[in-house]
Amino acid sequence: MNVIGLGKAGCNIADTFAKYPQYNIYKIDVGLKGDNCYSVKRQESPEEYEKNTPSLKTFFKGLEGDTLFVVGGSGNISAMCLSIMEQIREKAKIDVLYVKPDTFMLNQAKTQHEKVTYNVLQQYARSSAINGILMVSNPQLENILGEVPIIGYYDKLNELLVSTIHMINVFKNSEPVMGGLTSIHEESTKRIYTVGIFDIEKSEEKLFFPLDTARDKGYIYSIRKEKLQTENDLHKVIRSQMKERSQDEETKVSFGIFPTDYDADYGYILSYSPNIQS
Ligand SMILES: Nc1nc2c(ncn2[C@@H]2O[C@H](COP(=O)(O)OP(=O)(O)OP(=O)(O)O)[C@@H](O)[C@H]2O)c(=O)[nH]1
Ligand SMILES: [Mg+2]
């Protein structure tokens, strides 16, 4: 899978993906140096960035297939995202990873710019101009982590975000011992989505974005092999957790149980909505 980072947030998150061998990383920002980096000239405003989007034909020469395009909504440089995606649309299947900043911390111009980006990218997903938009909110990530010190703040957020997305990608490509994640294999109209972690013991969901009107939810149970072999009431527990979540007729629920060699059990969630989020 390709990961393209645009701007500071995008590039930091792309760097966090670089720890895993499964991803080809591309970074675009002002003042970058190094392999697979494209340095853009600094501009004064989102409008200027948009107008001055470079041709990235050579930069993206080898790129094809599944691509995660990571962008922080309030950054001025994010205004380049549509014209960049336009240049790779034919050869890449693009999902945007949209990082919604803490809007309380933004000035008026940035708030306004973020709002536009947030809406336009969701409309792109809805109209299938891109494959989908994975929404995450920084304040939400912070809540899940509990207290986070200022130094290393984004590193902590990025670590939680990227390790979760990575594990979900791994399970999407593995066979469950029971169940199946119908939601992620189907072509659907539910292109606005988020991910999260699921505390199996407490049956507690921690989504990375407060998604309105979830219509399709997939639960990944990553369980120690040994436990799958020996624990007798696990099936009952999972069944009752899934039953509880299937009460709402409008929401389709699926789950997969996956054996792992880790020393603890983990749960992950995918949640899809057909609607543009306000
Ligand atoms: N999750 C996460 N969020 C970040 C990170 N870095 C910045 N952000 C957030 O992303 C938003 C966009 O800021 P930047 O990424 O610095 O902006 P930019 O994309 O470089 O755009 P410019 O305004 O042109 O510099 C900010 O409001 C931050 O809240 C990061 O590493 N991780
Ligand atoms: Mg920047």
> How far, in Å, is the centroid of ligand 2 from the Cα of 185?
36
DSSP 53: P
How many angstroms separate the Cα of 65 from the Cα of each of 1, 41, 57, 113?
7, 28, 16, 30
Which pLDDT value is given to residue 186?
56
CA-CA distance, 6 to 124, in Å (whole number)?
17
Of 222, 207, 131, which is closest to residue 170 (Cα–Cα)?
222
Nearest ligand to the C-alpha of residue 9? 1
Which pLDDT value is given to residue 184?
54
> How far, in Å, is the centroid of ligand 2 from the Cα of 81?
14
The ligand 1 atom at the shortest distance from the C-alpha of residue 11 is: 31
Give the predicted TM-score (pTM) of the model: 0.95
Nearest ligand to the C-alpha of residue 158? 1
> In which band, very low, low, confident or very high, does the pLDDT at 118 lie, cut at 50, 70 and 90?
very high
CA-CA distance, 111 to 223, in Å (whole number)?
42
pLDDT tens digits, residue range 123-150?
Answer: 999 999 999 999 999 999 999 999 888 8
**Residue with CA at minimum distance from ligand 1 atom 3:** 9
Which pLDDT value is given to residue 65?
96
Which pLDDT value is given to residue 147?
84
Of 86, 95, 85, 28, which is closest to residue 59 (Cα–Cα)?
28
- Assigned token pair, 207: 């989504």
Indicate the top mutation candidate among 8, 28, 144 to test ligand 1's pocket, ranked by most ligand atoms within 8 A of CB: 8
> In which band, very low, low, confident or very high, does the pLDDT at 185 lie, cut at 50, 70 and 90?
very low
DSSP 97: E
pLDDT tens digits, residue range 61-71?
Answer: 999 999 999 99
**Residue with CA at minimum distance from ligand 1 atom 5:** 9
CA-CA distance, 257 to 278, in Å (whole number)?
33
**CA distance from start to end of the chain:** 30
**Is the model's pLDDT at 251 over the cut of 80?**
yes
Q: Does residue 99 contact residue 73 with C-beta atoms inside 8 Å? A: yes
Give the mean pLDDT of 239-257.
91
The ligand 1 atom at the shortest distance from the C-alpha of residue 74 is: 12
**Is the model's pLDDT at 183 over the cut of 60?**
no
Which residues does residue 30 pair with via DSSP β-bridges, in sequence order?
40
> How far, in Å, is the centroid of ligand 2 from the Cα of 113?
14
Q: What's at 119, amino acid-wise? A: N
Which pLDDT value is given to residue 188?
64
CA-CA distance, 206 to 225, in Å (whole number)?
24
Give the mean pLDDT of 74-87.
97
Q: Which residues line ligand 1 (CB under 6 A)?
A: 7-9, 12-13, 29, 72, 74-78, 99, 101-102, 138, 154, 157-158
pLDDT tens digits, residue range 102-113?
Answer: 988 899 999 999
Q: Does residue 259 contact residue 177 with C-beta atoms inside 8 Å? A: yes
Which pLDDT value is given to residue 148?
84
Which residue has tokens 């297939």? 65
> How far, in Å, is the centroid of ligand 2 from the Cα of 198?
33
- Assigned token pair, 79: 């205004």
Q: For the chain, what is the total number of helices (H) and then of strands (E)?
A: 9, 12
**Is the model's pLDDT at 77 over the cut of 50?**
yes
Give the mean pLDDT of 81-87.
97
DSSP SS3 for 196: strand
CA-CA distance, 136 to 158, in Å (whole number)?
11
Give the mean pLDDT of 255-274.
94
Give the count of beta carbons closer than 10 Å to the beta carbon of residue 88: 21
> How far, in Å, is the centroid of ligand 2 from the Cα of 29?
7
- Assigned token pair, 9: 């947030």
String of DSSP letters for 21-52? TT-EEEEEEET--STTEEEEPP-SSHHHHHHT
Give percent of the chain with pLDDT exceeding 70: 97
